Amino acid sequence: MNKTIRRASLFTLLLVLALLVRATWVQFYEGRALADDKDNRRNAIATYSAPLGNIIVGGRSVTGSAPTKTGDLRYKRTYTDGELYAAVTGYASQAYAPTQLEGIYTDLLNGTDNRLKSVLDTLTNRRADPGNVVTTIDPDVQKAAYDALGDKKGGAVAVDPKTGKILAVVSTPSYDPSALTDANTAGTAWKKLTSDPDKPLTNRALRQPLPPGSTFKLVVAAAALEDGLYTSVDERTDSPDPYTLPGTSRELSNENPNAPCTNATIRTALEYSCNNVFAKMAVKLGQDKVRAMAEKFGFNDEEQDVPVRAYPSVYPSDMYPSETALTGIGQFDVTATPLQMAMVSAAIANGGKLVSPHMVAQITDSGGDVLRDYDDEAGTKEIVSSSTAEQLQSAMRTVVERGTGTNAQVPGATVGGKTGTAQHGENNSQVPYAWFTSYGKSGGKEVAVAVVVEQSDAARSEVSGNGLAAPVAKAMMEAALKD
Give me the active site residues, please.
Answer: 214
Contact 131, 53 (CB under 8 A): yes
Total residues found in the chain within this entry: 483
First to last CA, the chain: 97
Collapsed DSSP state (helix, strand, coil) of residue 429 = coil
In degrees, rounded to 5, the angle at the alpha carbon of residue 347 between the alpha carbons of residues 412 and 315 is 130
Q: What is the DSSP string of 25-83?
A: HHHHTSHHHHHH-TT-HHHHHHHTTS----EEETTEESEEEEE-SSSS--EEEEESSHH
Q: Is 298 left (phi over 0), alpha (psi -120 to 50) or beta?
A: left
Strands 370-373 and 380-382 turn out to be: unpaired
Distance (Å, rounded) from C-alpha 48 to C-alpha 65?
9
Q: Cα separations (Å) of 354 from 135, 164, 195, 346, 380?
A: 20, 8, 39, 7, 6
Interior/surface letters 89-111, b for 16+ CB within 10 angstroms, e for the rest: bbbbbbbbebbbbbebbbebbbb
Contact 177, 202 (CB under 8 A): no
Q: Is 259 left (phi over 0), alpha (psi -120 to 50) or beta?
A: beta
Bridge partners (DSSP) listed for residue 442 = 445
Neighbours of 392 (CB within 10 A): 28
Distance (Å, rounded) from C-alpha 368 to C-alpha 56?
12
Task: Name 320's Cβ contacts closer than 8 Å, sequence gap at least 6.
Answer: 246, 247
Cis peptide before 242 (omega within 30 of 0): yes
- Of 211, 212, 215, 267, nearest to 237 (Cα)? 267
Contact 283, 325 (CB under 8 A): yes
390 CB-contact burial (10 Å; exposed 0-12 / middle 13-18 / buried 19+): middle
- Of 128, 214, 237, 262, nearest to 405 (Cα)? 214
Bridge partners (DSSP) listed for residue 60 = 57
Distance (Å, rounded) from C-alpha 347 to C-alpha 399?
18
